[in-house]
Amino acid sequence: MDILMAKVETFPFYLLSVKVIQARHIPSRDLWTSSDCYVSLRLPSASNKQMMTKVISNACNPVWNESFHFFIQAEVKNVLELKLYDEDVVTKDDLIFMVAYDIAKLRPGETICEDLLLNRQGPESLEVEFKMESICGGFESIATNGILTAREISRLDIKMDKWKNEECLKNNKNIELVVKESFEEAQAITQESESVTFHCVKNWEPKLEASMKSNSFVGKWLGDAATECPSVLLKSLPAGEETKVALSLSKDAELELQLQVNDCLGDLDVRLGCDLCGAEQDFLSKRKNVVASALKKVLLLEQELQGHEVPVIAVMATGGGARAMSAFYGHLSALQKLNLLDCVTYLSGASGATWTMRSLYEDADWSQKDLMGPIHRAQEYIARSKSSAFSLEALQRYDVELRQRAREGHSVYFTDVWSLIIDRMFHDEQSDSKLSSQQQAVTQGQNPLPIYLALNVKKDTQSTCEFKGIWSNIFSLNLKDVHHLYKSWQWPFPDQEKDEACFIPPMNRSSIFNGILTSRPIGEKKPNFLRGLQLHKDYYQHKTFSMWQDSKLDQCPNSLTPQEKELFLVDAGYFINTSCPPLIRKERNVDVILSLDYNLLETRFNSIEQMGKYCLDQDIPFPEIALTEEDRENPKECYIFEDKENPEAPIILHFPLVNNSFREYKKPGIRRTSADTAKGEVDFTSLNSPYRMTNLTYTEEEFNKLINLSDYNIQNNRELILQALQTAVERRKASRKQKQLQST
């Protein structure tokens, strides 16, 4: 982590006591008797554990008077979840109500008794007493950027001499070392194990336990551990020193371990800064020289542009399978022919457009070479049969590759298989290149910086729309997303002043049905690099934190990404088929976006219109996307969208995939001959169009038509592009002058 980007300060932590007193007017969930109630408590900013009261049987007004304790840090967002359940012996316990309580309203030394409403339409309530006390000597150092917070972490390194423990390991299977408060939680120990490591928040008072999990069917079904063993409190160990301990697994079995605990706040690997990373800033410094030189040539400038006068130009490509991959080559080729490719700083892609980027960036100097070579190779791959990708030999290679990934500790999903299939379809041999190897293509600023767009969604939330508003894709589609596509919807903006929120869950049958509807079988799980960080107490008030107006989750910190064990990544090319979001990040300060849209007739303007609505909703500078019925019926080759009143909004040049004057002109200003007329007919509209999403194979003629059309549409609108670039330069100069006047 770039620790200089975050403040490191020392703050006290406190003891929070929560006394669950009683519930009132709880409706029966059973046919003949009242509910058998208990309350669970979860405060993920203070513990990984879920605590529970005892069960009060057959009671509408159950009384518990049970107390629970948490060590809390007041500088992070602490939201306690209290869930009221009805215990069932046979089926899963019914969740009746849930209430979330923000601890921020408590002050040290205060005791507050709250009667929490469980149902805003009914009398149900839960009486809880909260008390916060100072702890003598209770301080910790935290690093924060105002949104995310890193707390003091203890690292427990465990070494095991497998020869000394040989007999114990041989006679006792299924041994686990457990630190419930850690991020790893539990790790299996075998005869091959030599060392394991746990990481946990220091002030959660973690302890090490050893257990033998049951190997019986009943034990697995009940989720019980057959044997519980003594524990070691980590804070009792001397910091930085190795300590030998013996954990008894049974009367005759003892596990000998060497333990060492170290604090590691200053050794974080995640950058907490909100600005662009140092590597990107270094790239921009180098690329600016390339762009300045290119702009001087194409705009016929008399003088070199100063650093602050150089606009940031981006190319944005949507998804669209093989159609996007092919057309993107044509667009880039045209930009190169017009000497505009060196004017581009960022190149972003989604879905099929990234297949083009993946191939190009294997060559460290691709934009400085004639693109006809990569285009001819792409033509060869797309024209050949794809059956070899499903041959026995190919399947065997996929199996070897996936097994290797699994051995290296990676989870394997359908998208891993799909990526290998796509790689086989469009390349001669399976490539061993990695995304990190593409760094060679940007080290000197010689090519635009590539941005591959993926989307992190919440797995099994009600719908993609509920999680994040507008992002989904055809591979992660669930049935409720389909419903959202065909109805207008508005979500209420969460009330920032609320200290508590209640939720009434559906009945069990509805829950099961909801699970079927919301299942996303095709997604990619990756380790969550934010896990372990916590949200600052005022995270949602920070100027760089975006509140999603169509989602309630942004004010439910227990549901946000840092709490997830894994990221759930999907392709962003379905609901809004765009790669624009990274380009409108304020820190990138993009002046012009060449929007290359590979949607067909029925969705031709959807992406740009939805992007405009999204930016309007989130108060992000973006020009109004105003289209007439004539535009929809007879779209032009290029549209310019500009907000002349707001220079912070990028100028958008939108290129829909249309076949207009290309029918009559094979090149700008050069008419087709009668013998050449057929080459101008590119079918995007009929049901038999070769460019439909599901088609991954084109004939050479079909591929060439798409390449030539894309090339032509860019070249035929050269003057509009140059006009936008000129405007961007003038904006930059005017902005500089305005700042100088303001400073004087």
Q: With a cut of 50, say whether residue 127 has pLDDT above it.
A: yes
Give the whole-angstrom CA distance, residue 253 versus residue 166.
Answer: 11
Per-residue confidence at 574, pLDDT binned at 50, 70, 90?
Answer: low
Q: Are strands 175-178 and 125-144 parallel, antiparallel or unpaired?
A: unpaired
592 φ, ψ (degrees, to nearest 5) = -135, 135
Between 32 and 655, residue with greater pLDDT: 655
In one letter, which amino acid is 76?
Answer: V
Between 289 and 35, residue with greater pLDDT: 289
Q: Count, in order, helices (H) and strands (E) of the chain.
A: 15, 30
Least confident of 38-42, 132-136, 500-504: 500-504
Give the whole-angstrom CA distance, residue 53 versus residue 182.
Answer: 23
Strongest mean pLDDT among 177-181, 308-312, 385-389, 413-417: 308-312
Residues 664, 682 contacting (CB under 8 angstroms): no
pLDDT mean over 523-551: 78
pLDDT in tens, 308-367: 999 999 999 999 999 999 999 999 999 999 999 999 999 999 989 999 999 999 999 999
Q: With a cut of 90, say whether residue 292 has pLDDT above it.
A: yes
pLDDT mean over 45-72: 94
Residue reference for tokens 């903006």:
493
Between 501 and 615, residue with greater pLDDT: 615
Give the whole-angstrom CA distance, residue 230 versus residue 249.
Answer: 8
pLDDT in tens, 578-593: 999 999 999 999 999 9
Strongest mean pLDDT among 42-56, 218-232, 401-415, 451-465: 42-56
Q: For residue 125, how many other CB atoms are within 10 A of its CB?
A: 20
pLDDT mean over 164-183: 82
pLDDT mean over 176-201: 86
Between 257 and 369, residue with greater pLDDT: 369
Distances in Å between the Cα of 630 and the Cα atoms of 603, 626, 627, 654 are: 15, 12, 8, 16
pLDDT in tens, 57-67: 999 999 999 99
Topology annotation, domain 278-371+432-453+575-742: Cytosolic phospholipase A2 catalytic domain (3.40.1090)
Per-residue confidence at 551, pLDDT binned at 50, 70, 90?
Answer: low
pLDDT mean over 714-726: 98
In this prediction, residue 58 carries a pLDDT of 92
Q: Tally the C-alpha atoms within 13 A of residue 476's C-alpha that lie toward its C-beta.
A: 28
- The residues facing 12 across adjacent strands are 139
For domain 3-149, which CATH number applies: 2.60.40.150, 3.40.50.720, 3.30.450.20, 3.40.190.10? 2.60.40.150
In this prediction, residue 450 carries a pLDDT of 96
Least confident of 142-151, 490-499, 592-601, 612-621: 490-499
In this prediction, residue 744 carries a pLDDT of 67
Between 722 and 228, residue with greater pLDDT: 722
Residues 143, 131 contacting (CB under 8 angstroms): no
Q: Between the CA atoms of 598, 602, 607 and 612, what dihedral angle is there, to the nearest 10 degrees?
A: 140
Give the whole-angstrom CA distance, residue 694 versus residue 424.
Answer: 17
Residue reference for tokens 């599901």:
694
pLDDT in tens, 466-496: 444 533 333 333 333 333 433 333 322 233 3
In this prediction, residue 356 carries a pLDDT of 95
Helix (H) or strand (E) holding 615: helix 606-617
Q: With a cut of 80, say whether residue 674 has pLDDT above it.
A: yes
Between 202 and 664, residue with greater pLDDT: 664
Residues 160, 258 contacting (CB under 8 angstroms): yes
36 carries an active-site annotation: no
Residue reference for tokens 């609320």:
498
Q: With a cut of 70, say whether residue 152 has pLDDT above it.
A: yes
pLDDT mean over 265-270: 68
Strongest mean pLDDT among 95-104, 137-146, 197-206, 244-253: 95-104
Q: With a cut of 70, say whether residue 176 has pLDDT above it.
A: yes
For domain 153-263, which CATH number applies: 2.60.40.150, 3.40.50.300, 3.40.50.150, 3.40.1670.10? 2.60.40.150
In this prediction, residue 114 carries a pLDDT of 95
Residue 582 DSSP code: G
Q: With a cut of 50, say whether residue 497 has pLDDT above it.
A: no
Residues 201, 153 contacting (CB under 8 angstroms): yes
As a whole number, the mean pLDDT across the chain is 84
Strongest mean pLDDT among 22-36, 191-205, 367-381, 448-462: 367-381
Residues 551, 457 contacting (CB under 8 angstroms): no
Least confident of 484-498, 623-637, 712-726: 484-498
Least confident of 48-62, 266-280, 346-360, 361-375: 266-280
Q: With a cut of 80, say whether residue 740 has pLDDT above it.
A: no
Give the whole-angstrom CA distance, residue 502 versus residue 269.
Answer: 37
Q: With a cut of 80, say whether residue 218 has pLDDT above it.
A: no
List 94, 423, 481, 571, catalytic entry: 571
Give the whole-angstrom CA distance, residue 638 versus residue 384.
Answer: 33
Helix (H) or strand (E) holding 283: helix 278-298
Between 226 and 405, residue with greater pLDDT: 405
Give the whole-angstrom CA distance, residue 378 versus residue 427.
Answer: 8
Q: 235-256: string of b/e by CB count within 10 Å (b at 16+)?
A: eebeeeeeeeeebebeeebebe
- Looking at the chain, the whole-number percentage of residues with pLDDT higher than 90 is 51
In this prediction, residue 1 carries a pLDDT of 39
In one letter, which amino acid is 412?
Answer: V
Per-residue confidence at 570, pLDDT binned at 50, 70, 90?
Answer: confident
Can 3-149 and 278-371+432-453+575-742 be said to share one CATH topology? no
- The residues facing 110 across adjacent strands are none
Q: Between the CA atoms of 200, 203, 204 and 209, what dihedral angle is there, to the nearest 10 degrees?
A: 60
Taking the alpha carbons of 65, 75, 3, 10 in that order, is the dihedral positive or negative? negative
Q: With a cut of 90, say whether residue 427 has pLDDT above it.
A: no
Give the whole-angstrom CA distance, residue 305 versus residue 295.
Answer: 8
Would you list the domain boundaries of the chain?
3-149, 153-263, 278-371+432-453+575-742
pTM: 0.82
Strongest mean pLDDT among 339-343, 406-410, 428-432: 339-343
Per-residue confidence at 374, pLDDT binned at 50, 70, 90?
Answer: very high
Helix (H) or strand (E) holding 404: helix 392-407
731: closest CA among 643, 606, 626? 643
Give the whole-angstrom CA distance, residue 386 versus residue 725.
Answer: 42
In this prediction, residue 415 carries a pLDDT of 77
List 47, 182, 351, 476, catalytic entry: 351
Between 146 and 343, residue with greater pLDDT: 343
Q: With a cut of 60, say whether residue 656 has pLDDT above it.
A: yes
Between 430 and 534, residue with greater pLDDT: 534
Tokens for 586, please give them. 């304020």
In this prediction, residue 472 carries a pLDDT of 32
The full length of the chain comes to 744
Residues 313, 449 contacting (CB under 8 angstroms): no
Residues 457, 523 contacting (CB under 8 angstroms): yes
257: closest CA among 169, 185, 171? 169
Give the whole-angstrom CA distance, residue 226 versus residue 458.
Answer: 34
Q: With a cut of 90, say whether residue 29 has pLDDT above it.
A: no
Least confident of 196-205, 268-277, 456-465, 636-645: 456-465
In this prediction, residue 573 carries a pLDDT of 59
Residues in Cβ contact with 465 at an 8 Å cutoff, skipping those fewer than 6 apart: 472, 480, 481, 484, 489, 491, 550
Helical spans, DSSP H, in 439-585:
464-468, 479-485, 508-518
Tokens for 487, please give them. 């109805």
683 carries an active-site annotation: no
DSSP sequence for 42-79: E-TTT-S-EEEPPPB-S-SS-EEEEEEEEEEETTB--E
656 burial type by CB count under 10 A (0-12 exposed, 13-18 middle, 19+ buried)? buried
- Looking at the chain, the whole-number percentage of residues with pLDDT higher than 70 is 85
Tokens for 742, please give them. 């303001």
Tokens for 2, please give them. 């770039």
Tokens for 202, please give them. 């220091």
730-733 CB contacts, 8 Å cutoff, 24+ apart: 731/311, 731/591, 731/647, 732/308, 732/309, 732/310, 732/311, 732/591, 733/309
In this prediction, residue 681 carries a pLDDT of 94
